[in-house]
């Protein structure tokens, strides 16, 4: 037990900060370009980490072996959701985005129902899923600031959750023996870097971004993406996926706190109601299905 | 003490003493959190090549990893939190005053040791020293007007932070390479300060003077100062290195008066005398009645790394 709680809190603190960094960064840099820059910071660190774990030559051969799976995950687990969240945060508070993004396990269950007919869901789990979806409605529907754009922003983040959930199911089927977490992370982020490049070039920032935006993107890439992944693998290795995925419950809470304290975002009844409904829905709804993060 | 170490000691005091002035210059323009983030970030960047050269990548990395949790806590308690408190307080009170109050850190070490180290006893002249030191702190906090009392108390809190982290590090990081402690502390403080530091950063580049202040704080007052401090510790012993505590506030008051035009008040001088006298007596470094036992007793735990 010693070491578990500190690691969990550290991971929640650094991962939760990414929503704040995204919010600050998209003030100056268009979403796709922002994600591209974020990946430019993160990918070298992940590659070096991989090489330090398994050795340079082995790392190369593993990356090559991942191939198409890495490409699909790069799209569904990095390029698409990262851009959707960045676009969404142009219109909603960072805390709201973090809460909307906590719905991933709910969509994993929903998608599994459709694509894996042998999966059964109990009545209680069904209620949990419904509760989570009501939470999304509360979060998006009663959003006081920004009208329809804010609703669209929340839904974009929810869509990113669907993308993560799809990636989770896809990886669950194929990854098993293929590769380890660090290999998949490095491969998929590298793939996302390539996939997003044309879109990033299409909409470049019109003027040189501010120091603040650049620092934010660097922190997002180095801390919120690379370091968070590395700490998460360490946690998976030490404590297993069931206990590691508990971080998903803490993430929206820390992100909400960062937004409220550092960006003066309002914490409304709808925000807290959505948070409670979604987290409770996740806890109840994921019940029997074994939930793992994409890797 | 060999002349070489005397020179190093003076240089270290001059450097640490100047940090209070640089903070004052920096927080005129940028938020305290941003100043601290820039400071610990550049400090860590400056130390990385030194540590790699001295210990090699593998050794340094292994030691950082082995001690990540204590290093993280020390980074919070010995850098992020006290730096932030101090920088915030300097938006309200004079830099020289902050340095004087912070010089009371060894008194808090003795006080906390009393509570947490069972074998530690404070009697006789050491007790008198603690009381005198607290009287000095009380005087300086008491003479502040209105909201500045809170700022002065924030500096007292930084002294408490340093004292706590010294005792904690002494127990949990014993035997870890000092350079690794310095780097690990600055790295985790950078991590901790990133959200607040970046979200409160100014949109446009700050003035050259502010950038200079942040760079000097990071490279000189953090990275180089640590290296100097450890070199003195290794070459001349902890009891000599601790002398820096007495010199830092003197330098800080001097810089504040000369470069920032801060007034040198009577209360500040009296408070300084009380605090330094209290530290000398309270840590057992000086004893009017030099009994054999007092002479044999090693001085109280040295406040390591209490940089402004």
Are A245 and A104 in contact by the 8 Å Cβ rule? The answer is no
Cβ distance of B194 and A10 shorter than 8 Å: no
A268: left (phi over 0), alpha (psi -120 to 50) or beta: beta
- The predicted pLDDT at position B239 comes to 73
- The predicted pLDDT at position A55 comes to 85
A21 vs B72, B198, B200: nearest CB: B198
**Exposure class string for A90-111: b at 16+ Cβ within 10 A, else e:** bbbbbbbbbbbbbbbbbbbbbb
Instruction: Give whole-number Cα distances, A79 to A32, A60, A76, A109, in Å.
Output: 9, 22, 7, 23
- The predicted pLDDT at position B292 comes to 46
B91-130 pLDDT tens trace: 999 999 999 999 888 888 888 887 877 776 677 788 888 8
Say which residue, B5 or B116, is predicted with more confidence: B5
- Residue B245 structure tokens: 């505590």
Spell out which residues of chain A touch residue B201, defining contact as CB-CB under 8 Å: 211-212, 215
- Residue B124 structure tokens: 């006789």
Q: How far is CA B241 from the centre of its chain?
A: 13
**Chain A residues whose C-beta sits inside 8 Å of any chain B C-beta:** 3, 6, 10, 14, 17, 20-21, 24, 210-212, 215-216, 219, 223, 227, 258, 262-263
Residue B290 has pLDDT above 80, yes or no: no
B183-202 pLDDT tens trace: 999 999 999 999 999 999 88
- The predicted pLDDT at position A176 comes to 60
| B144 CB-contact burial (10 Å; exposed 0-12 / middle 13-18 / buried 19+) | middle
Confidence of residue B307 (pLDDT cuts 50, 70, 90): very low
- The predicted pLDDT at position A284 comes to 85
B25-55 pLDDT tens trace: 999 999 999 999 999 999 999 999 999 998 8
Cβ distance of B195 and A211 shorter than 8 Å: no
- Three-state SS string over B227-259 comes to HHHHHHHHHHCHHHHCCHHHHHHHHHHHHHHHH
Cβ distance of B195 and A262 shorter than 8 Å: yes
The CA distance from B123 to A24, in Å, is 55
The stretches in chain A having pLDDT less than 50 are 1, 288-295
Are B39 and B214 in contact by the 8 Å Cβ rule? The answer is yes
Phi, psi of B134 (to 5 degrees): -65, -35
B225-273 pLDDT tens trace: 988 888 888 887 777 777 888 889 999 999 999 999 999 989 889 999 9
Are B232 and B9 in contact by the 8 Å Cβ rule? The answer is yes
Phi, psi of B170 (to 5 degrees): -60, -30
Helix (H) or strand (E) holding B134: helix B124-142
Spell out which residues of chain A touch residue B194, defining contact as CB-CB under 8 Å: 17, 219, 223
Number of separate helices (H) and strands (E) present in chain A? 13, 0
Cβ distance of B198 and A216 shorter than 8 Å: yes
Interface mutation target, options A212, A216, A227, chain B, most CBs of B under 10 Å: A212
- Residue A251 structure tokens: 């993430």
Are B105 and B245 in contact by the 8 Å Cβ rule? The answer is yes
Interface mutation target, options B198, B206, B210, chain A, most CBs of A under 10 Å: B198
- Three-state SS string over B179-225 comes to HHHHHHHHHHHHHHHHHHHHHCCCCCCCCHHHHHHHHHHHHHHHHHH
Are A204 and A30 in contact by the 8 Å Cβ rule? The answer is yes
Interface mutation target, options A25, A215, A228, A265, chain B, most CBs of B under 10 Å: A215
- The predicted pLDDT at position A157 comes to 93
Are B249 and B94 in contact by the 8 Å Cβ rule? The answer is no
Spell out which residues of chain A touch residue B200, defining contact as CB-CB under 8 Å: 262
Spell out which residues of chain A touch residue B207, defining contact as CB-CB under 8 Å: none
Q: How many CB pairs under 8 A join A and B?
A: 41
Cβ distance of A263 and B199 shorter than 8 Å: yes
Residue B281 has pLDDT above 90, yes or no: no
- Three-state SS string over A179-246 comes to CCHHHHHHHHHHHHHHHHHHHHHHCCCCCCCCHHHHHHHHHHHHHHHHHHHHHHHHHHHHHHHHHHCC
Are A102 and A241 in contact by the 8 Å Cβ rule? The answer is no
- For residue A3, give how far its alpha carbon lies from the nearest alpha carbon of chain B (Å): 8
- The predicted pLDDT at position A294 comes to 46
Are A185 and A69 in contact by the 8 Å Cβ rule? The answer is no
Q: How far is CA B261 from the centre of its chain?
A: 23
- The predicted pLDDT at position A87 comes to 95
| B201: closest chain A residue by CA | A212
**Chain B residues whose C-beta sits inside 8 Å of any chain A C-beta:** 69, 72, 191, 194-196, 198-205
Half-sphere exposure of B172 (CA within 13 A, CB side): 16
DSSP string, A252-285: HHHHHHHHHHHS-----HHHHHHHHHHHHHHHHH
- The predicted pLDDT at position B90 comes to 94
Say which residue, A159 or B288, is predicted with more confidence: A159
Q: What ipTM does the predicted assembly reach?
A: 0.80
Spell out which residues of chain B touch residue A215, defining contact as CB-CB under 8 Å: 198, 201
Cβ distance of B196 and A3 shorter than 8 Å: no
| Size of chain A, expressed as the number of residues it contains | 295
B195: left (phi over 0), alpha (psi -120 to 50) or beta: alpha
């Amino acid at each position: 037990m010693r070491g578990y709680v500190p690691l969990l809190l550290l991971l929640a603190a650094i991962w939760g900060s990414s929503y704040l960094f995204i919010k600050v960064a998209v003030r100056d840099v268009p979403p796709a370009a922002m994600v591209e820059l974020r990946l430019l910071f993160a990918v070298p660190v992940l590659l070096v980490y991989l090489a330090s774990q398994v050795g340079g030559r082995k790392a190369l051969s593993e990356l090559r072996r991942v191939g198409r799976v890495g490409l699909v995950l790069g799209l569904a687990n990095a390029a698409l959701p990262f851009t959707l969240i960045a676009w969404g945060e142009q219109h909603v508070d960072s805390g709201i985005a973090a809460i909307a993004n906590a719905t991933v396990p709910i969509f994993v269950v929903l998608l599994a129902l459709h694509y894996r007919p042998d999966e059964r869901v109990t009545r209680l789990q069904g209620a949990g899923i419904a509760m989570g979806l009501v939470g999304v409605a509360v979060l998006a529907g009663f959003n006081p600031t920004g009208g329809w754009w804010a609703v669209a922003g929340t839904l974009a983040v929810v869509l990113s959750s669907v993308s993560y959930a799809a990636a989770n199911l896809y990886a669950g089927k194929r990854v098993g023996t293929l590769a380890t977490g660090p290999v998949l992370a490095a491969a998929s982020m590298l793939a996302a870097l390539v996939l997003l490049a044309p879109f990033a070039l299409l909409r470049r920032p019109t003027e040189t971004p501010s120091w603040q935006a650049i620092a934010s993107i660097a922190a997002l890439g180095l801390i919120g993406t690379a370091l968070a992944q590395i700490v998460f693998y360490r946690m998976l290795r030490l404590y297993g996926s069931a206990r590691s995925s508990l971080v998903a419950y803490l993430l929206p809470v820390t992100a909400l706190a960062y937004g409220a304290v550092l960006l003066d975002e309002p914490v409304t009844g709808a925000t807290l109601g959505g948070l409670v409904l979604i987290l409770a829905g996740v806890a109840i709804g994921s019940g029997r299905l074994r939930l793992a993060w994409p890797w | 003490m060999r002349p070489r170490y005397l020179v190093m000691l003076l240089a270290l005091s001059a450097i640490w003493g100047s940090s209070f002035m640089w903070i004052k210059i920096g927080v005129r323009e940028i938020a305290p959190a941003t100043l601290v983030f820039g400071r610990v970030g550049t400090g860590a960047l400056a130390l990385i090549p030194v540590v790699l050269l001295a210990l090699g990548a593998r050794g340094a990395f292994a030691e950082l990893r082995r001690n990540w949790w204590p290093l993280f806590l020390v980074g919070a308690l010995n850098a992020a939190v006290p730096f932030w408190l101090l920088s915030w307080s300097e938006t309200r009170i004079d830099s020289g005053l902050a340095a004087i109050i912070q010089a009371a850190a060894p008194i808090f070490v003795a006080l906390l040791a009393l509570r947490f180290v069972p074998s530690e006893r404070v009697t006789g002249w050491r007790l008198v020293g603690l009381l005198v030191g607290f009287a000095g702190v009380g005087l300086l906090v008491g003479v502040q007007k209105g909201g500045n009392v809170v700022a002065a108390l924030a500096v007292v809190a930084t002294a408490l932070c340093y004292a706590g982290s010294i005792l904690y590090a002494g127990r949990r990081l014993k035997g870890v390479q000092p350079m690794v402690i310095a780097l690990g502390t600055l790295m985790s403080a950078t991590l901790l300060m990133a959200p607040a530091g970046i979200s409160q950063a100014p949109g446009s580049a700050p003035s050259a003077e502010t950038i200079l202040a942040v760079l000097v704080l990071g490279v000189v007052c953090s990275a180089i100062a640590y290296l100097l401090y450890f070199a003195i510790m290794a070459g001349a012993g902890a009891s000599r290195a601790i002398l820096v505590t007495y010199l830092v506030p003197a330098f800080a008051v001097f810089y504040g008066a000369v470069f920032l035009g801060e007034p040198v008040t009577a209360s500040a001088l009296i408070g300084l005398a009380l605090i330094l006298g209290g530290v000398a007596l309270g840590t057992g470094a000086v004893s009017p009645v030099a009994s054999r036992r007092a002479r044999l007793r090693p001085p109280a735990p040295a406040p390591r790394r209490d940089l402004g």
